[in-house]
């Protein structure tokens, strides 16, 4: 299995001249969660500038697939290869409640060896309209505010990254949903990739592909 194992942002590989376009290749993977078969023989390929939406009922393996691509859950069979850095924002926000939103972003940037200076953090917060409450401890923020801080981390990463998003617009109000749509559209324009599981529509400028997962019989 050639999937990533680290929770950090993964470095891009050095590519040979004439190699296929940078992207994601998932080939014949078998996913098991809690001793239960979630998906078998699942394949997916993406290249720069593409977005794929994962659809399907609860329990069909959307979150499990994202975690497997992120290297946080091993596939029982098959291969996962990615030529670009990977940034994962799960259904849980992954923020420390004792720290401020700004501190969470700065610490996350250091952990992933990304730009975490004040200017970069401010710009990231502005992208999700999160600067007004960025200096409050996360435990005092609403669900929607925490989600905006979590999503702001994405823009601290490289333009070529694959964004793995699990229900990214959950808890967002209309204005924040538009900010997220703009964030995703801009990332795709710069050659990034997005793989997102969501029950809610995304108003992005690029036409997404849809991968519908079914619960195995």
Q: What is the mean pLDDT of the chain?
A: 88
Report CA-CA distances (Å) from 34 to 18, 31, 143, 149, 171. 42, 10, 28, 31, 28
* pLDDT confidence tier of residue 52, bands split at 50, 70 and 90: very high
| DSSP code per residue over the chain | ------SSPPPPPPPPTTPPPSEEEEEEEEEEETTEEEEEEEEEEEETT-EEEEE--TTSSHHHHHHHHTTSS--SEEEEEESS-EEEE-SS----TTSBHHHHHHHHHHHTT---SHHHHHHHHHHTT-GGGTTSBGGGS-HHHHHHHHHHGGGGS-TTPEEEEESTTTT--HHHHHHHHHHHHHHHHTT-EEEEE-SS----SSPPEEEE-----
Give the pLDDT band (50/70/90) at residue 2.
very low
Maximum Cα–Cα distance across the chain: 52
- pLDDT digits 0-9 by tens, 149-159: 999 999 999 99
Give the model's pLDDT for residue 9.
35
Q: What is the mean pLDDT of residues 51-63?
A: 93
pLDDT computed for residue 14 by the predictor: 41
pLDDT value for 35: 86
Which of the four pLDDT bands, split at 50, 70 and 90, describes residue 117? Answer: confident
Round the CA-based radius of gyration of the chain to a whole number and report it. Answer: 17
Domains in the chain: boundaries: 1-7+19-85+158-217, 95-156
The mean per-residue pLDDT over the stretch 110-127 comes to 88
Q: What is the pLDDT of residue 18?
A: 56
Say which CATH superfamily domain 1-7+19-85+158-217 falls into: P-loop containing nucleotide triphosphate hydrolases (3.40.50.300)
What pLDDT, on the 0 to 100 scale, is given for residue 146? 96
Please give the average per-residue pLDDT across 29-50, as a whole number.
92
Is the pTM above the cut of 0.85? yes
């Amino acid at each position: 299995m050639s999937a990533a194992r680290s929770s950090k942002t993964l470095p891009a590989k050095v590519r040979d001249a004439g190699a296929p376009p940078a992207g994601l290749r998932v080939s014949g993977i078998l996913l098991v969660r809690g001793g239960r078969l979630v998906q078998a023989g699942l394949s997916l390929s993406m290249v720069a500038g593409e977005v794929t939406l994962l659809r399907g009922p609860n329990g069909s393996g959307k979150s499990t697939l994202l975690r497997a691509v992120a290297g946080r859950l091993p596939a029982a069979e098959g291969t996962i290869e990615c030529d670009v850095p990977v940034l994962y924002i799960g259904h849980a926000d992954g923020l420390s409640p004792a720290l401020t939103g700004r501190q969470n972003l700065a610490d996350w940037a250091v952990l992933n060896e990304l730009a975490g200076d004040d200017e970069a953090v401010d710009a990231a917060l502005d992208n999700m309209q999160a600067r007004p409450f960025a200096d409050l401890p996360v435990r005092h923020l609403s669900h929607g505010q925490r989600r905006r801080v979590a999503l702001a981390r994405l823009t601290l990463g490289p333009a070529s990254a694959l964004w793995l998003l699990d229900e990214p617009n959950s808890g967002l109000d209309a204005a924040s949903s538009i900010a997220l749509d703009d964030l995703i559209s801009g990332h795709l324009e710069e050659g990034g990739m997005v793989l997102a599981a969501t029950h809610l529509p995304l108003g992005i400028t690029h036409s997404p592909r849809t991968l519908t997962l079914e619960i195995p019989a």
